[in-house]
Amino acid sequence: MGIYLNPGNRGFWESIRSEIYVDKTGLIACTNRLLNTKEKYACVSRPRRFGKSMALEMLAAYYGRGCDSRELFAGLKIEKDSSFEEHLNQYDVIYLNMQQFLIRAKKQDMTEYLEQLVIKDLRKAYGELFSEQETVLAAALEQIYAETGKQFIFLIDEWDCVMRERQESEGLQKQYLDFLRNLLKDQTYAALAYMTGILPVKKYGQHSALNMFREYSMTNQKVLEEYTGFTEDEVKALCERFGMDFARTSSWYDGYMLKKFKHVYNPKSVVEAMSCQDFENYWTSTETYEALKVYMDMDFDGLRADIVKMLGGEHVRVNTRSFQNDMRNFETKDDILTLLIHLGYLGYDSQAKEAFIPNKEIVEEFENAMSVGGWPEVMKVLKASERLLEDTLLCDEKRVAEGLDIAHMEVASILTYNDENSLGCAIGLAYYSARKDYKMIRELPTGRGFADIVFLPLPFSDKPAIVVELKYDKSAHAAIEQIKERKYTQALEGYSGEALLVGVNYDKDDKNKPHCCVIEKMVLA
């Protein structure tokens, strides 16, 4: 075993020995199908702490020569796959963590430094097959393949670190991309190239050096959805095993929506919550909120309004196709929103082509980023939201209407009421603090229509359910009557106890008291 050539199986060994290990070995069956095909180039991009490095360690343990990993995979899903025996420990694996090379190269050329170290590793196994003066990694690998017929599998971690950490160095980026293209493209010695990072590899300006790669990203994971994070069934099993409340786990860490798997959880955060027996913001603590604030404060028309809408529980339309897949070249607000999807700060519904804030963990990060300046009007609304909820639970119609007036006044420069939908967004923001005890659902389907906003109490909460109906230039009483007439409370099936029906009307012509509120109690059997 070497450092970069066939590094062994210890990383995967440590994973399966950990207190929590979720079997994702089915990924190997997917990569086996890519071996020695035109689709053998895979770039799998996900946010931080979504198991990218663990997946590479698993693939290294499975494919790499020089170690017997059969016992490590005993009882795991891949062992039952028909391709398991055929490829087990049958390839030379070259494992490259680009972050390490970038850090260690210092003032030396990064790719030159990388080639020196990997060629040094290759000499231990195949030194007699290529010249001692050879300094080009691709040339050395060509000689090895020509003499032995042995193919290599390339596992590349943090492939995009040059693009993320050397944003101003376009010369270095181009050189790096040319190096990867020369190393991998159309090379018969490459049986598989599996790269991971945060950003996809689709395009960097006009330089499409790596167009042979198929992308599996947070906007479309294709056949790898199941291996992107934890699935709902996997999280339910962990909650049962560790005695943790599944509903609270969902509110904290669920929300990454893919085409087939509608509920994908942040694996790092779920593992920490189970191990620590506590719900906290684990994932975003690995990076400071200033990183998010930089993008939130960028001056693109409509960006601030979209962020406020998402804080209010709304989804916003986004065009992900214009994004240049880097962290510097932004032309529209959609580019910023797309980057936040790849970074994990936003979820993405690929069918509706909409972005949204996925869970409580991320909501807190947005709040932290806004609290340090630049968003004072929104912070005032968020801080007042707890009192607004208390007034609602007390059925104090006057104070609720006054609270909504104040909230509207604060965010008027960002959000303008022009219909019931924009009114709903602002009210969702005004009830921001309710998410501690409730799951807020916009446009909840009922027997005869859609309830505008429903607050479903989480299982640990002793608070009543709340059904909110909104009217624009009509009346709050009409809103209450609509809730009853269309039987919106049927949407609370399975819930028993007290419920509050809240009717809100906004009168654009009443400058002194634009909001009117009516609250009624109802007991559900």
pLDDT per residue as tens digits for the range 401-434? 999 988 888 887 787 776 667 777 888 889 998 8
Element (H, E) at 152: strand 152-157
Confidence band for 435, pLDDT divided at 50, 70 and 90: confident
Q: Please state, in angstroms and rounded to a whole number, the distance separating the CA atoms of residues 383 and 361.
A: 18
Instruction: Report, as an integer, the average pLDDT of 458-470.
Output: 87
CB burial string 502-521: b at 16+ within 10 A, e below? bbbbbbeeeeeebbbbbbbe
DSSP H helical ranges for 46-126:
52-63, 84-87, 98-105, 110-126
Q: What is the mean pLDDT of the chain?
A: 90
| Residue 461, both tokens | 């909460």
Which DSSP string do the residues of 440-451 spell out, in sequence order?
Answer: EEEEEEETTEEE
| Residue 93, both tokens | 């694996």
Confidence band for 171, pLDDT divided at 50, 70 and 90: confident
Domains delineated in the chain: 10-217 (3.40.50), 229-374 (no CATH), 386-524 (3.40.1350)
Q: Is the pTM of this model over 0.95?
A: no
Digit-coded pLDDT (tens) for 374-387: 888 899 999 999 99
- pLDDT score, position 473: 85
Higher pLDDT, 72 or 165: 72
CB 412 within 8 A of CB 394: no
Higher pLDDT, 429 or 285: 429
- pLDDT score, position 235: 98
- pLDDT score, position 210: 87
Instruction: Report, as an integer, the average pLDDT of 292-320.
Output: 89
- pLDDT score, position 162: 92
Residue 232 reports pLDDT greater than 70: yes
Residue 285 reports pLDDT greater than 70: no
Of 515, 496, 513, the residue nearest 505 (C-alpha): 515
Share of the chain above pLDDT 90, in %: 63
Of 27, 44, 30, the residue nearest 201 (C-alpha): 44
| 437 secondary structure, DSSP code | T
Q: Is 301 helix (H, G, I), strand (E, B) or coil?
A: coil
Confidence band for 460, pLDDT divided at 50, 70 and 90: confident
**Degrees to nearest 5, angle at CA 506 with 501 and 512:** 120
Instruction: Report, as an integer, the average pLDDT of 152-169.
Output: 92
Instruction: Report, as an integer, the average pLDDT of 433-455.
Output: 79
Phi, psi of 396 (to 5 degrees): -90, 90
| Residue 191, both tokens | 């049986």
Residue 45 CB coordination number (10 Å): 24
- pLDDT score, position 420: 67
Element (H, E) at 506: strand 497-506
Confidence band for 442, pLDDT divided at 50, 70 and 90: confident
- Lowest-confidence range among 335-339, 453-457, 458-462? 458-462
Q: Please state, in angstroms and rounded to a whole number, the distance separating the CA atoms of residues 482 and 251.
A: 29
Q: Please state, in angstroms and rounded to a whole number, the distance separating the CA atoms of residues 158 and 97.
A: 6
- Phi and psi based region of residue 6 (left: phi greater than 0; alpha: psi -120 to 50; beta: remaining): left
* 485 Cβ contact partners less than 8 Å away, ≥ 6 residues apart: none
- Lowest-confidence range among 201-205, 240-244, 332-336, 480-484? 201-205
Instruction: Report, as an integer, the average pLDDT of 435-449.
Output: 77
- pLDDT score, position 373: 74
Digit-coded pLDDT (tens) for 139-148: 999 999 999 9
Q: Is 494 helix (H, G, I), strand (E, B) or coil?
A: coil
CB burial string 426-458: b at 16+ within 10 A, e below? bbbbbbbbbbebbebbbebebeebebbbbbbbb
Digit-coded pLDDT (tens) for 491-507: 777 777 889 999 999 88
Instruction: Report, as an integer, the average pLDDT of 306-329.
Output: 89
- pLDDT score, position 174: 87
Higher pLDDT, 273 or 247: 273
Instruction: Report, as an integer, the average pLDDT of 272-298.
Output: 82
